[in-house]
């Protein structure tokens, strides 16, 4: 088993693209990259802790290679937006790929270069590639939010502009 960590704006929207695929063993919503140990959602949502909202994925690389995770990640985000994602604004909603080893770092850099060369976007790709920091699991009510609160999740996602962006660019 290996781990992968991605920041793509609101972590609620970053779970379902990866779930229920062969080789994906688990997905947790959480926080990473900030200055506070064991941050809470109330702290992170202020944008003052430096944490990103992230998903940490446990996977079997023999069944689901890391490169496939990257292929699923990029179409979930606007990689040209340094100030958040869609309706979610602030540093906690920045995009980033966090790597756990050199192979992941190289694959992430290569994938970012491919996205930049694709011609899909007018602006530069600002998604950072960073070493994986400590992961802090978010509160239980954030785990599998889309399943626990499907009506609110669908409304929030529809209002965010994420799906329209994905349809237009991907």
* pTM higher than 0.75: yes
Q: Residue 40 is part of which domain span?
A: 2-169
In the chain, pLDDT over 90 holds for what percent of residues?
A: 95
pLDDT at residue 158 in the model = 87
Q: Among residues 10, 32, 57, 96, which one is catalytic?
A: 10
Helix (H, G, I), strand (E, B) or coil at 48: coil
What angle is formed at CA 92 by the lines to CA 86 and CA 93, rounded to 5 degrees? 20
Mean pLDDT estimate for the chain: 96
Distances (CA, A) of 98 to 7, 120, 145: 8, 23, 22
d(CA 35, CA 49): 6
Residue 67 is part of a domain; what is its CATH number? 3.30.1060.10
d(CA 31, CA 116): 27
How many separate domains does the chain show?
Answer: 1
pLDDT digits (tens, 9 = 90+) for 23-52: 999 999 999 999 999 999 999 999 999 999
In the annotation, is 13 catalytic?
no
pLDDT digits (tens, 9 = 90+) for 121-132: 999 999 999 999
């Amino acid at each position: 088993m290996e781990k992968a960590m991605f920041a793509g704006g609101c972590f609620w929207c970053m779970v379902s693209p990866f779930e229920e695929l062969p080789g994906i063993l688990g997905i947790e919503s959480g926080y990473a990259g900030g200055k506070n140990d064991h941050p809470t959602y109330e702290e992170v949502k202020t944008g003052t802790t430096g944490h990103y909202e992230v998903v940490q994925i446990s996977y079997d690389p023999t069944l689901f290679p890391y490169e496939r995770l990257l292929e699923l990640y990029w179409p979930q985000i606007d990689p040209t937006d340094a100030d958040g994602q869609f309706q979610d604004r602030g540093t906690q909603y920045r995009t980033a790929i966090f790597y756990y080893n050199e192979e992941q770092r190289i694959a992430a850099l290569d994938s970012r270069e491919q996205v930049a060369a694709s011609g899909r976007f007018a602006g530069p790709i600002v998604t950072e590639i960073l070493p994986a920091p400590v992961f802090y699991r978010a509160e239980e009510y954030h785990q599998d939010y889309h399943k626990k609160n499907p009506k609110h999740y669908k409304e929030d996602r529809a209002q965010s502009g994420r799906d329209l962006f994905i349809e237009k660019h991907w």
